[in-house]
Chains A and B, each alone.
Chain A
Amino acid sequence: MTRVIETRGLRKEFTVRVKAGWLRRRTRVVTAVDGLDLTVDRGEMVGYIGPNGAGKSTTLKMLTGVLYPSAGHVRVCGFEPVRQRTRLARRIGVVFGQRSQLWWDLPLSESFTLLRHVYAVRAADSAARLARCRRLLELDAFLDVPVRQLSLGQRMRAELTAALLHGPEVLFLDEPTIGLDLVSKQAVRAFLAALGAAGDTTIVLTTHDLADIERLCRRLVVIDQGRLVHDGRRRLVVDLDEPLAVDLALPGVTVESTQANGRRIVYTLDGTITAGQLVSRLTEVAALRDISVLEPAIEDVVARIYTRHSP
């Protein structure tokens, strides 16, 4: 199992100048991300949520090399994002919902050509990926239209394609469905689900739309006021007749605890493996008495955080 993202004590502070009377300014330090520990393995799909101002975008910007962390350790694909920014950029794809990376005045297809040169990707590789995106995201209708004339839904599909043309290992999406109508949202979700299911692209997405998470992410990470408040991996509780004699050695599975003299085991699944796969492996080596899956209680966690912030 390969670690794609790793942060320890990641921290970002901003100095804000507040007007305090005539010509005087008071400076105040705002901590946007406050000691974040997060690891993501290859192939995971992580939903990263939190209220406005919780530090989601700031985290994403530190992971992509846009912002320089105030403190802490961060590695993405083995690179230090800011110092090795250009090398990292070849390995990751980024979609900022609010900022376009397409050329406003050019037809969409020319933006793709330019990006191919920017990333120095072989024409054949790029063409194959583009063909796939054209089919799945139905781009053909507006490939020759200047980007400024695209609808939001069309533009977001174009942005996704643009972020994938160089075949990134990790895809960072900052609110990819924001402002989209239902049909476009579903098109984007279906596309991301297919991409994630293929298993070789790690996806981290921030969103305010819980339907995105439910549909896409096996792992939910919640941040509030710069701190990690929930890192929900799915848990599987297994009751056995006899304690397990062999080591499962399954990637993506860790033993959280063993109870009842080893006859009850709580596993956590990191998202690269389904509960079904674990169960079928278990039945090969032991007699199962009972199994139950503990889902991360998305709504509960989220509602608790959001209500605390409403006046």
Chain B
Amino acid sequence: MRSQTQYRASFVADVVGSVLFGVLDVVGVVVVFRVTPALGGFAFAEVFLMTALAGCAFAAADLVVGNIERLRHYVRSGLFDVLLVRPLSSLAQLAAMDVATRRVGRVAFSAVVVVVAAANARVPITPGRLGLLVVTPVAGAMIFGAVFVATATVAFWWIESGEIANGLTYGGLNFAQYPITIYGALFRRLFAYVVGFAFVAYYPALVLLDRPDPLGAPALLGYASPAVGVAVVVAAALMWRAGVRHYRSTGS
């Protein structure tokens, strides 16, 4: 919280860095389309919209529960004990440990990118579409947030859990930014449906763009994101509970 502003220089560097991160996401798409005119059957404007939606969802999830990756250190050092003797949810405490003000900048930036991408893709302005445009990043943030939490809970069982979490979270971001048609069948099924990453951007974007799914899924899936979000959040919460019960603490 306030501890952060105690170190002003690093705070500024953090803000600049996190905006830069958002810019790089966009640059990545531009670079890909310098090489090819279409990706998995989608044009630049369409993929740009998916990237923007996924980026915004990720930034929002990172803002709320991004701090959860520190769980490892809390578990390893036994500091997690201290969280458990306070009358608040341990998950909420960890998330709030530093509500990174720098991450707010990234969310704001990515929201602007969504608006630009939607305008660029000529998404028709109807109440339904506007609603979907607002709801989608929220649902996507739930999905990413759940993945953040679920992967972090690995630390309760396996203290040396290092890169697994990043593989799934940042890997998930990269997956969700592009149309799922470009991935191999096995990988696509795993990420898109088991974890639910296809609901972060792909299916809602299809509805926004008024396109049928090349893979033949019904258009209704575009509206299913919030339900999927709730489902994975519940799953992640159950994992967290099981993890806390398995917590072994350390030392005296």
A contact set with B: CB distance below 8 Å: 14, 52, 56-57, 61, 64-68, 82, 85-87, 89-90, 92, 94, 96-101, 103-106, 110, 114, 118-120, 174-175
CA distance A195 to B1 in the complex (A): 33
Q: Would you give the shortest CB distance from A255 to chain B, in whole angstroms?
A: 38
A86 and B87 CA atoms in complex are apart in Å by: 4
A67 to B248, CA, bound (A): 7
CB nearest to A14 among chain B residues = B248
How many angstroms from the CA of A174 to the CA of B249 in the assembled complex?
Answer: 14
Determine chain A's interface SS by DSSP, over half rule. loop
Q: How far is the CA of A90 from the CA of B247 in the complex (A)?
A: 21
Query: A120 CA to B86 CA in the complex, in Å?
Result: 11
Decide: A101 near B248, CB < 8 A? Known: A106-B2, A118-B87.
no
Known: A64-B84, A65-B84. A86 touches B79 (CB 8 A): no
**Whole-angstrom distance between the Cβ of A87 and the nearest chain B Cβ:** 7
CB distance from B217 to the nearest CB of A (A): 42
A66 touches B3 (CB 8 A): no
- Which range contains the number of B residues in contact with the other chain? 20 to 34
Q: By the criterion CB–CB under 8 Å, are B81 and A87 in contact?
A: no
A65 touches B251 (CB 8 A): no
With a cutoff of 8 Å between Cβ atoms, the chain B residues found around residue A100 in the complex are 82
Complex-state Cα separation, A52 to B245, whole angstroms: 24
| A-B interface, 3 closest residue pairs, ranked by CB to CB distance from nearest | A89-B87, A105-B3, A94-B85
CB of B89 closer than 8 Å to a CB of A: yes
Q: How far is the CA of A66 from the CA of B1 in the complex (A)?
A: 24
Evaluate contact between A64 and B248: CB separation under 8 angstroms: no
Interchain residue pairs with CB less than 8 A apart (16): A52-B252, A56-B252, A61-B81, A65-B84, A66-B85, A67-B248, A68-B244, A89-B88, A90-B87, A94-B85, A99-B77, A99-B78, A101-B82, A101-B86, A105-B3, A118-B86
Minimal Cβ-Cβ distance residue in A for B81: A66
- Which residues on the B side are within 8 Å of A82 (C-beta)? 245
Bits for B214-252, please: 1 = Cβ < 8 Å to A, else 0: 000000000000000000000000000000111111011
